Structure 1
Amino acid sequence: MKNFLDDDFLLESETAKKLYHDYASAMPIIDYHCHLPPDEIADNKTFANISRIWLNGDHYKWRAMRANGVNEAFVTGNASDREKFQKWAETVPYTLRNPLYHWTHLELQRYFGITDVLSPATADRIYDECSEKLSSPEYSVRSLLKKFKVEVVGTTDDPLDNLAHHQKIKQDDFGVKVLPSFRPDKAMNPDNVETLNAYIDQLTGVTGTTITTLDDYLDALKNRHDYFAANGSKLSDHGLDHIYAADYTDAEIVTIFKKIRGSEGLSTDENMKFRSALLHQFALWDHEKGWVQQYHVGALRNNNTRGLATLGPDTGWDSIGDFTHGKALSKFLDRLDTDNKLAKTIIYNSNPVNNSLFAAMTGNFNDGSVAGKIQFGSGWWFMDQKQGMIDQLNALSNIGLLSRLVGMLTDSRSFMSFPRHEYFRRILCNLLATDIENGELPNDIKWTGKIVQDICYNNAREYFGFYDSN
């Protein structure tokens, strides 16, 4: 029987151990997509206790606590930080086989050197030990990034953001690149015309322009896209239920925008046309700048109306969606490719049922100009756990080129999430080693080790252009 979370965790053979320890483990991290708050990096924040860095904002843990019968006062409410931690410690033993069980103990080990299992019996001691360490400069957010050999952090930022925090980080030059990503979801969402108009009015203030017509709006958004590029951005990102690719004419979008500015509601057809037009336009700008565009699709968000009304979005009320993706995704990519204006693209899937569809679709638009130009992204959200990662890696292996994958990302709001890269690397090494052990791949450790290092780091370094002068 193996010990829990020992040095060979998830590594089931000597070949797997060799691939991980000799090739994967020491590779730096390029965390090209996450939701870390740039202001906390700019301020080099330290946290008063373990709850502040570990529980605040983590809707994965919140969902588990609610499922375990924990009152909301101890989840997002007014209970003290210690009380919230105690409730999390009560929940952890019940998370067996949930990825949170692995992540929790990996993080305790890698950040604090704590090998005890978190439970009500160990909660107070672990809380005190972690909180004491967190008060030291070695646990400031910049120190943590360097501790885990993070070279690049790609944040997720609204076009309205002035990027002042990114500018300060760049000026300080502390050894980690922290670069913005252009996330214009709010700019293309006409579900609530009043909300969109308020957003447009804010954009007016940010750009110092008057926005009356569609051209005014596009010019202002292009201004922000250019501003992001001037501040080091190399990526865009979109969080969508599905890709929008409705047919439309320019005249129709002009009319639709007039209706929006006139506070008129849109029909479903008009809504889809507006979204499709904006999404296409953003993609053209991405291609023009040589950016990588990311599409996170398939989540069914804000399912719990009462929870959403009380706490707002991104608080644990989202789930896997069952949208139909194939035709619209094909149409969207082909429309860009037809004009040879399809940028490097990563598409992330949240429903394992669609893995093969996404893996096959990305292969349709690789044109030989860039290795792995169109990527089926790593397991995302509900799939960034052991089986989800294996499913994604297998689908990509079967239909595309696993060897060209640009690796893992945290997609996290927490500075405690970097062991997810280790988790992914161990799973990857074990998967390849199993094929070697079974005689399905040659016992060429040197070559396979190179592929492992490429997936963990080298492919991302080459693909994104983060190290190009800017």
Structure 2
Amino acid sequence: MSTQNTAALKQTFIKEDFLLENEFSKRLYHEYASDCPIIDYHNHLPPQEVAENKVFENISQIWLAGDHYKWRALRTLGVQEKYITGQASDEEKFLKWAEAVPFTLRNPLYHWTHLELLRYFDITELLGPGNALEIYDETSSKVSTRDFSTTRLLQKMNVEVICTTDDPADNLLHHHNFKNQGHSLKMFPAFRPDKSFAVENPVTYKEYLLKLGETAKTDISSYQVLLEVLRKRVDFFHVNGCRLSDHGLEKMYFDDKSNFDLEDLFQKVMSGKVLLPDEITFFKFKVLNELCRMYHEKGWTQQFHLGAMRNNSSRMHTGIGVDSGFDSIGDYSQGISLSRFLNHLDKDNKLCKTVLYNLNPSDNELFATMCGNFNDGSERGKIQFGSGWWFLDQKDGMERQMNTLSQMGLISTFVGMLTDSRSFLSFPRHEYFRRILCNLFGKDMKNGELPQDEKWVGKIIQDICYYNAKNYFNFD
């Protein structure tokens, strides 16, 4: 990589009206959207770091560690792994990222990087190799103070609620401790039970059930005991404020025709035998079906993130592990099994509020119209077409999701944006989303495609940014 002239590293392009193309867009954002509190109902923040109000030693630890978006960009630019997930110092890793930033033009990383530097650190320069060390020192001196602790960072962004992503085997101690601290900020768990039906690998499945059994103080020796333990964990999560579940699946599992014996399948897996593909699908469907009925009893919302093709590089997966930047959009067939699974619950009136997220943009219309199939008048926006997720949480992806929802559903009922992030510095993504949202409505108002009734349109904007989520999730 060549260095960039330091003379070019001057004032940021992110001005007051960034992404806002006309006066209607500007007023919608500045007068209605910008001050709305944030309800971040799905993220991967570590609860322990929230509860302990962690202070980081330097900017790399809070900004680069765990960020597989940045890791993918660095690898694309030929940066050695030691500067990404390896043994290089935190300062060296930051300098490599700074060197890479000018080459991320038109990738959302370029926008996010400078928006985060501006909002958290008041840095108005564009990051590059010419000012990297200076910015490293300035940001590190700030993040290592109590004013930049985890809860302070969340409060700085006007965050009202965060929902973490938690395994059924988690004891939720950190959620409990945080609640007892009396913060105005609320942190709730979200139930992520994917490992409880991951029978495709008998070794890891058996190891997981041992862990789950230890938490539940139960020997999970049969399929029925597994269901009993999961029910107890749902009860436990509910008592601790959980009102959402979440699932990350390639596609929905559905099989109501096979007659495999579930106890027999369970014992095969526990004995180390690998199940056949049809047996795996059947087992996953049955466990997931039981879980969804438990969610309905509790009045929860269930989330399904569908379509990721994970761990594509077996070599890097073996060397580095999961969630390291080797996942991609998958091209799975989604419609039939998703429809049948939702209908299987709905026909017994056991389908709870549901948010569907697709990773393949070619499925936008499928997911948007699928939601309409199961809205029954019992809840406003009961079945949600979720916001642009992962590779789609960028300007084009968000616009396409919102345009599809507008045309094939009702965007007025949309519960809005989430970070889906592991970083405490990612919350300006809500601002990014809100600016894009306001610009979409503002352009239609200017073009005469919407009435120029700012108060009414402004109310819809505020609902999408905040009130719809607040009313939908029923957080205590």
**Shorter-chain TM-score: which interval?**
over 0.9
Equivalent position of 2:180 in the other structure: 171
RMSD over aligned CA atoms reads 1.1
Q: Is the 8 A contact 1:350 1:380 kept in 2?
A: yes
CA-CA distance at 1:258 after TM superposition: 2.2
Q: For 1:234-245, list aligned pairs within 5 A.
A: 234-245=243-254
How far residue 255 of structure 1 moved from its aligned partner, in angstroms, is 2.0
Counterpart in the other structure of 1:283: 292
**Alignment match, 2:84:** 75
1:243 is displaced (CA, Å) by 0.6
1:159 maps to a residue whose letter is P
CA distance in 2, matches of 1:248, 1:270: 12
Offset, 1:248: 4.8
Which of the residues 304, 325, 343 maps onto 1:334?
343
Per the alignment, residue 273 of structure 1 pairs with 282
Cα distance between partner residues in 1 of 2:220 and 2:60: 44
Q: Per-residue displacement from partner, 1:206-237 (whole Å, max 9, x unpaired)? A: 11222222111110111111111111100000
Matched, 1:348 2:357: yes
Paired residues for 1:201-240 under 5 Å? 201-240=210-249
* Residue 119 of structure 2 corresponds to residue 127 of structure 1: no
- Contact map agreement 1:425 1:456 (CA 8 A) in 2: yes
Deviations 1:396-451 (A, max 9, x none): 01100001000100000000000000000000000001111111101010000000
The Cα of 1:140 is off from its aligned counterpart by: 0.4
Show structure 2 runs of 5+ residues with no match.
1-10
Answering whether residue 366 of structure 2 is matched by residue 384 of structure 1, we say no
Aligned residue for 1:430?
Answer: 439
Q: Find the residue that maps to 1:348 and give its secondary structure.
A: strand
Deviations 1:298-320 (A, max 9, x none): 01000011110000000000000
Secondary structure in 1 matching 2:289: helix
In 2, distance between residues paired with 1:18 and 1:288? 43
Question: Which residue of structure 1 aligns with residue 450 of structure 2?
Answer: 441
Instruction: Determine if contact 2:12/2:124 at 8 Å carries over to the other structure.
Output: no
Deviation at 1:249?
6.0
* Equivalent-residue separation in structure 2 for 1:349 and 1:264 (angstroms): 33
Q: Following the alignment from structure 2 to structure 1, what is the Cα–Cα distance between the partners of residues 416 and 220?
A: 41
Matched, 1:395 2:404: yes
1:250-294, Cα deviation, whole Å (9 max, x unpaired) = 762222112122222211110000011111111001000000000
Say which is worse superposed, 225-234 or 259-268, in terms of deviation.
259-268
**Can you list the C-alpha shifts for 1:326-384, whole angstroms capped at 9, x where unaligned?**
00000000000000000000000111100000000011000011110000000000000
**Hey, what's the Cα distance between the residues in 1 that align with 2:214 and 2:451?**
61
C-alpha displacement of 1:144: 0.7
Residue 252 of structure 1: which of 257, 261, 270 is its match? 261
Letter matched to residue 444 of structure 1: D
Post-superposition CA distance 1:12-48 (Å, at most 9, x none): 0000000000000000000000000000011100111
- State the identity as a percent: 57
Answer yes or no: is the 8 Å Cα contact 1:379–1:389 preserved in 2: yes
Query: Partner of 1:88 in structure 2?
Result: 97
* 1:14 partner letter: E
Tell me the residue number matched to 2:155.
146
Partners of 1:348 and 1:391 lie apart in 2 by 13
Whichever residue aligns with residue 342 of structure 1, its letter is L
Tell me the distance in 1 between the aligned counterparts of 2:213 and 2:85.
35
Match of 1:119, SS state, is coil
TM normalised by structure 2 equals 0.97
Q: Tell me which residue corresponds to 1:24.
A: 33
Shift of 1:247: 2.0
In the other structure, the counterpart of 2:5 is: none
Residue 283 of structure 2 aligns to a residue whose secondary structure is: helix
Q: Is the 8 A contact 2:260 2:279 kept in 1?
A: no
Residues 248 and 273 of structure 1 are in contact (CA less than 8 Å); yes or no, is this contact kept in structure 2? no
Distance 2:217 2:21 in 1: 60
1:287–1:343 CA contact under 8 A, matched in 2: yes
Output the CA distance in 2 between the equivalents of 1:312 and 1:43: 26
Q: Give the CA deviation at 1:297.
A: 0.5
Match of 1:54 in 2: 63
Runs of 4+ aligned structure 1 residues displaced above 6 Å come to: none
Q: Secondary structure at the match of 1:236?
A: strand
For the pair 1:417 / 2:423, whether they are aligned, the reply is no
| TM-score under structure 1 length normalisation | 0.98
**Are the counterparts in 1 of residues 415 and 464 from structure 2 also a CA contact under 8 Å?**
yes
State the Cα deviation string for residues 89-134 of structure 1 (Å, max 9, x = none). Answer: 0100000000000000000000000010000001011111101111
Any conservation in 1 of the 2:12–2:114 contact (CA below 8 Å)?
Answer: no
User: Are 2:25 and 2:439, in contact at CA under 8 Å, matched by a contact in 1?
Assistant: yes
Aligned residues: 466
Distance 1:152 1:250, change over 3 A: farther
Tell me the distance in 2 between the aligned counterparts of 1:137 and 1:371: 41
Query: How far off its partner does 1:204 sit?
Result: 1.9
In 1, the alpha carbon distance for the partners of 2:223 and 2:12 equals 62
CA gap 1:67/1:424 in 2 versus in 1, 3 angstroms:
same
Distance (whole Å) between structure 1 residues aligned to residue 121 and residue 192 of structure 2: 34
The aligned counterpart of 2:196 is: 187
Give 1:297-336 correspondences, 5 Å limit. Answer: 297-336=306-345
Structure 1 residues 168, 250: CA separation in 2 closer, same or farther (over 3 Å shift)? farther
